[in-house]
Homo-oligomer: A and B are copies of this chain.
Amino acid sequence: VIRLTRAYRFCASHRLHSASLSEAANREVYGKCNNPYGHGHNYQLEVTVAGPVDAASGKVVDVPRLDGLVESSVLRHFDHQDLNAVPEFAELVPTSENLVMVIEQRLRQAWFAGAGPRLENVRLHETRRNRFDLRL
């Protein structure tokens, strides 16, 4: 089994505010990220695919197909957008923890049918100091 990890980038804004918390609790929990005007990040997304190597092609996955899947299910909807306007975040706070779970759901629903490689890990870098992993 070989694992291929491929990196993607998208730029988006968000505001962290939870409807289930008071105004004061929102300010305490999210600090500067609760600012009503929002702020933004250059996110880096890393998708890890695991599987056997095809004997004829020497590849674990067709990279253009993987790119198309990530583009159509995630990047097109998130890049240069306000995350709070993405449907899943109508009631969910767009923290990076929730964001990596939403991305994993979208990738899983769009994933290759049949005998293709397995989606093994979704990693999201929010800044140079924080990254989030969801291992399947």
**Which positions in A face B, CB cutoff 8 Å?**
1-9, 11-14, 16, 18, 20-21, 29-33, 35, 37-42, 53, 55-60, 62-64, 79-82, 84-85, 92-98, 100-101, 127-135
Contact = CB atoms under 8 A, between A and B. Distances in A.
A79 B32 contact: yes
A126 to B, nearest CB: 8
A13 B32 CA distance: 13
- Classify the secondary structure of A's interface with B: mixed
Contacts of A133: 2-3, 5
A6 to B, nearest CB: 6
B101 A53 contact: yes
Nearest to A10: B39
Contacts of A127: 9, 11, 42
A97 B93 CA distance: 32
A58 B95 contact: yes
Contact of A35 (B2, B60, B81, B95): B81
A15 B63 CA distance: 17
Contact of A57 (B7, B29, B96, B130): B29
A38 B38 contact: yes
Contact of A14 (B21, B40, B62, B94): B40
B97 A60 contact: yes
